[in-house]
Amino acid sequence: MAGEPTTPICGHLDQVRRVTPDSTDSCPACVANGDTWVHLRECQTCGHIGCCDSSRNQHATAHRTTTGHPLIRSYEPGETWWWCYEDQISFDVEGTPPARAA
């Protein structure tokens, strides 16, 4: 059924909101600091775009630490995976297109 997670199951999908990303192609905090990033992640509670943990500043995880928002998804073109900080699992939500088109 579309919109259902594939195994494993995350217990925080009830916190997913329809979000509008606060950036279309960059980590705003890195841009403000004059830094670069490796990959982008989108918060599924508020739409915040932050850089991944392979990036020097790890803004996506910093956002999670500050807000407690449990779910992010890849904001890389064509990627569909999600990550739950609380359950420490990566998963796909069947039938959900990538956050950004390839």
**pLDDT per position as a tens digit, 13-45:** 999 999 999 999 999 999 999 999 999 999 999
Task: Judge if pTM exceeds 0.85.
Answer: yes
In a domain, 102, yes or no: no
Asked if the structure places residue 70 within a domain, the reply is yes
The answer as to whether 8 is a domain residue is no
CATH at residue 51 = 3.30.40.10
Structural domain that includes position 19: 14-92
Q: Confirm whether 75 is domain-assigned.
A: yes
Does any domain span residue 4?
no
**How many structural domains are present in the chain?**
1
3-state secondary structure at position 1 = coil
In sequence order, the 6+-apart residues with CB closer than 8 A to the CB of 3 are: 93, 94, 95, 96
Laid out side by side, the sheet with 49-51 consists of 49-51, 40-43, 71-74, 81-84, 89-92
Query: Quick check: is 72 in a domain?
Result: yes
pLDDT at 1: 43
3 lies in some domain: no
Q: Kindly state whether residue 5 falls inside one of the protein's structural domains.
A: no
At 50-98, the pLDDT tens digits run: 999 999 999 999 999 999 999 999 999 999 999 999 999 999 988 889 9
Whether the per-residue pLDDT at 6 is higher than 90: the answer is: no
| Mean pLDDT, all residues of the chain | 92
